[in-house]
Chain A
Amino acid sequence: MAQSSEPSLKLTGVTKRYGDIVAVDYLNLEVMPGEVFGLLGPNGSGKSTTLKMILGLVKPDSGFVDVFGMNTQEHPVDVKRMVGYVPESPRIYEFLTGLEFLDLTGDIYGMNPSEKKKRIEEYLRALELEGREGDLISSYSEGMKQKIVVISALMHRPRLLLLDEPLSGLDPRSARIIKDLIHELASDGVTTIMSTHVLEIAQAMCDRIAIMYEGRLLALGTIDELRREARMPSSGLEEIFLKLTGTSDIRPVIEALLR
């Protein structure tokens, strides 16, 4: 598939404050179509706020967020129509069955009934939810709920995926399916922005990685570019991450805990 040279996502000087706390500090970012982009950073570094600003859930104090050339604040509904979102700790309607929730999602995104049914069947089978689709979500395990949320983000074939810890709670087989699916979708031009704490996942899946710390963009690039920046040519992402975020000196912490 021919991919456009226009970025799928463009953040220009985006800043977000909560009182005295600067959650995101003058963030500039461009993500190209078909790219799998990882957002890494310690807790409270501004990753989730960034994802929420991209979707238009949170309004930046300054700067602009453009998705496929559309400003998220000016065209919120058009942007949401093109996005699939998995929040960090989703609460879904527990009084619905898994099937009813996916049916609702299909209707909200305007899918036609036959396409909706086909997609639901495929995803339920792939993620081994067949046979439980008619049960109330309240009886699902956390992993099953996560699968339903992931399916609802993917089933309407969005052009941009915003995934906040998408693989949390998933069994290894389902996690592998989602990872491979994201890669296949990327080759079809679907852009993925993924926030995760699992550095192995980020290293394995992402074309480029942004490391955020206290709201600022600390480093950005492919894994090789990050290695060069950290001057750690043969290290894995974990060592690079700890060095760049200035948190590598963890030995004294462990010793203090063991005392």
Chain B
Amino acid sequence: MNWKNVLLLIGADMKSYRLVGGKRFRRFRENKVVTYAIYIGACVLGSSIGGLVGSFYNGIADFQLRDLVLQGAISLFMSLPTIVLLYGLVFTQMSQFQRIGSKVSVQPLYWFPITWEEHTLASILANVFGVPLAVTTFVVSGIAVSSIFMGLIPLALVTVFALIVSVFMASATTEISKVLQVRISGAITKAAGRAAIWVRLFGSIFFFIVFYAVYFSLYSQANPLVLLEMVSSGQKTLWFIPYVWPGIALSYLASGLLLETIFFSLASVAFVCLLFLAATKLNIRYGLYEMPSIRVSRGIYVSGAGFLGRLGFSSLEVAIMRKDFKAFTRRMELAYIFLFPVIFTIMPILTTMKSGAEAPVPHVLNSFLFAYLVLLPGTIMAMILGGMMIGLEGESVWYVYSSPITARSLVKAKYSFAMLFSLAVTLLCSVIGGTVWTPSVKLAMLCSLEAVFLVFSLSMVSLSFGIRGADFREMPRPRMIRPMWVIINGLICIALALAIVSPVIPYALNFFFENIQASVQISLPIPEAYLYIALPISGIIACAVAYAFYRIALKNAENFLANVERYESLMFL
């Protein structure tokens, strides 16, 4: 093993993030402090909290309370390796997901004199950089400082060792799963034949949903102390799972059982070595695996303008929309957009089922959940889609620049796609919401119309910002819109959404107060005809917003098409 090669490869991986840092490529000079700020920050924060905890401990006069705090700290130390392992797995896996779309991220440089062992080790260590390393730095520095005050230095040293082993275990597992995912999806693609596109899409969505379900269940533990207690007491019963061995070693040390501590520590190290060997063997076998080509069609056919053509779209606009639809169903980094309606639909239904099992669900909660499901997924979809419609062109955007596409056609095609797609989501959610919560006709009409107004206007608002803040870089992962413009877009969309729904807010409040089961009944003096005036006003505001932002989007598109030089990363065209 050439350690210099390992360090060089890790350095190359870390440097790949320069491309998403919004930095200038010409006369590039790196600010090391900014690069390592996250780790420095984590260290400072961890040490400060550790110092505060230590001072607090020293300041306790009551002997019993002191002992209680000490036992709590020991219990925390014992749980940390397993908790860090779980979070490490989630974050390293997330980091891999983000890189799905990048073509060349950090490929094995197989033509260089680098062994697979060196490559695998570098990849495992590079996976750790970012959130996992920052969390570990925070925890380690906190433990180190607090243990000085509490007289737990030997236990803290072993905890730090166990944490490092756990993080390495998490990252090595992700490395193994990365290779296996590629190989298995390759086999599925081959077996699926022409249906491969759809199998891949729905398979990925299913995988993401399962992954995020695990992630949210970890995060949604109402009480972190319960989680700590669960881990510290439960890990010994799970002794046959090697991932909890570092935590078990610590708990034996806390009990003063040195032999068992040494055994589980050595077993943990042996397991890490085994994971590393497995990852290396898999990389040797499948590291340069070429995904089988996907055949979508046989024979030559050409498309016409079709249904959209009859609606007044030109063949150019239809072609752009068709291309974008294919992008969303075939580019894995875009497929996550399909998760939003699924998650937004499942969450309230689960909430209702959970509450319904305990007590009858109040009518007002049903109405609220219906409104939530009709209004939110479509609106959020419109905001996200509008913002990314231009940036999703990625480095192929030269094609848009060099083609005879007018600003008006570009805006029309991109807006229509985002709007129609979001409307379809709204329609689907309305049908599901109507079936599950059976709202009144009036409420259903109100929510559906407001959802249409929001989608109609906010798609255009987001598109105008998406054009202005487009980011075409695809390395190490496609971002599509610069973070500053995501924030601006989000804030302005929220403000405009409130403005659009503001005429119907008094009606909604009145409905809420009338139906809530409270001791004091509040009712606003709103006449029956109010809604019939408020809704058109809301629609007029939505139209005004859409038109104003259409003009802005058009102006931005004209500037965008006339000024390729603004996008420094595209100057290689």
Contact = CB atoms under 8 A, between A and B. Distances in A.
Contact of B405 (A56, A77, A96): A77
What is the interface residue range for chain B against chain A?
A: 35 or more
Given A89-B572, A91-B394, A134 B296 contact: yes
Contacts of A57: 398, 401-402, 564, 573
Contact of A109 (B292, B298, B327, B404): B404
Interface string B531-573: 0000000000000000000000000000001111100000011
Contacts of B300: 99, 117, 120-121, 124, 133
A103 to B, nearest CB: 5
A95 B326 contact: yes
A136 interface: yes
A195 to B, nearest CB: 13
Contact of B296 (A81, A109, A135): A135
A24 interface: no
A92 B573 contact: no
Contact of B404 (A59, A80, A89): A80
A99 B405 CA distance: 20
Instruction: List the 6 closest pairs (A to B, CB-CB), nearest first.
Output: A139-B293, A107-B319, A95-B330, A134-B297, A81-B404, A80-B404
30 contacts: A55-B402, A57-B398, A58-B564, A58-B565, A76-B561, A76-B562, A78-B404, A81-B404, A83-B402, A85-B402, A87-B398, A87-B402, A88-B573, A91-B395, A93-B327, A103-B319, A104-B322, A107-B303, A107-B318, A107-B319, A108-B319, A108-B404, A120-B302, A121-B300, A124-B300, A134-B295, A136-B293, A136-B294, A136-B330, A139-B294
Contact of B331 (A55, A95, A113, A124): A95
In this complex, the interface size class of chain A, counting residues with CB under 8 Å from chain B, is 35 or more
Interface in A111-141: 113, 116-117, 120-121, 124, 133-136, 138-139
A166 interface: no
B316 interface: yes
A100 interface: yes
Interface in B277-326: 291-304, 315-316, 318-320, 322-323, 326
B26 interface: yes
Interface in A194-208: none
A97 B330 CA distance: 11
A107 B315 CA distance: 6
A189 interface: no
A19 B302 contact: no
Nearest to B334: A95
B204 to A, nearest CB: 14
B398 A99 contact: no
B396 interface: yes
Contact of A104 (B292, B323, B398, B573): B323
B406 interface: yes
Contact of B403 (A48, A103, A108, A117): A108
A220 to B, nearest CB: 25
A46 interface: no
Interface of B: 26, 103, 291-304, 315-316, 318-320, 322-323, 326-327, 330-331, 394-396, 398-399, 401-406, 561-565, 572-573
A44 interface: no
A108 B299 contact: no
B26 A110 contact: no
B193 to A, nearest CB: 12
A52 interface: yes
A90 interface: yes
A72 to B, nearest CB: 10
Contacts of B399: 90, 92-93
Which residue among A52, A73, A107 has the maximum number of chain B CB atoms within 10 Å of its CB? A107
Contacts of A41: none
A104 B293 contact: no
Contacts of B402: 55, 57, 80, 83, 85, 87
A99 B403 contact: no
A134 B299 contact: yes
Contacts of B316: 107-108, 110
Contacts of A91: 394-396, 398
Nearest to A56: B562
Contact of A52 (B297, B304, B326, B573): B573
Nearest to A58: B565
A121 B300 CA distance: 7
Given A76-B561, A77-B404, A136-B330, A97 B297 contact: yes
A215 interface: no
Nearest to B103: A94
A33 interface: no
A120 B297 CA distance: 15
A106 interface: yes
A90 B319 CA distance: 20
Contacts of B398: 57, 87, 90-91
Contact of A136 (B296, B315, B572): B296
B201 to A, nearest CB: 11
Nearest to B27: A19
A45 to B, nearest CB: 16
B298 A134 contact: yes
Contacts of A133: 300
Contacts of A76: 561-562
Contacts of A106: 302
